[in-house]
Structure 1
């Protein structure tokens, strides 16, 4: 994973892990790697890896069984997905408004884009 300078590394790792949970790549109840393994995987400091898990646990996304490991919580996946969708839509709308479009124009552009995309997918 390539890190950017605009956000702390631990937040970027959290974003990656939560995206993988929402996409189904990591499933509810699945055991996550140990903090040390996480540090090696992401090439981050072990303290940063511990901070990642602490924050994920604080948010209710994972839980830890002492001596056994860290696991993805069952109940928060749909809430997490809704949160990510809301954030992505908000960023999209703000970008479009920054280009001078109003809500009606944004809807029209999005509708036209989706229509064209669906037509292209049906041709393949």
Structure 2
């Protein structure tokens, strides 16, 4: 599992939590999928194993993963039970960051929404909707 870890952002364990959480919620990791071992993920991400263990504990506390003694860590079945409110809560900090960056860069909200629509279409191989033409 490849993770993008930066030293100038949130704490490393939180970056791991957010990236694994995103993969679970987005369906990239399904119920029952096994996560890498703590040591394996630590080595591939070049972080301390205690950092990965802390991230896994947080994911387990959220009910997204479950530890199976002597077998490993797996995506929990409860993942499918996230409510709309929980999904909004998980995405809110990311939206806030994008909005703050857009404001700092002087990107109008309409432009930001158009860019998000285009990126979404690219990511999901969907046609890009065209705005309705205004009638005079």
Bigger relative contact order (CA 8 A; separation at least 6): 1
Deviates more, 1:13-22 or 1:30-39: 13-22
TM-score normalized by structure 1?
0.69
Post-superposition CA distance 1:8-49 (Å, at most 9, x none): 111011111112222222112111111111111211111111
Unaligned 5+ segments in structure 1 are none
Deviation at 1:52, TM superposition (A): 1.2
TM-score (norm 2): 0.64
Q: Which moved more, 1:40-49 or 1:20-29?
A: 20-29
Change (3 A) 1:121 1:56: same
The partner residue of 2:23 within 3, 6, 20 is: 20
Unaligned runs of 5+ in 2: 122-126, 131-136
- Structure that is richer in helix per residue: 1
Partners of 1:83 and 1:121 in 2: CA distance: 27
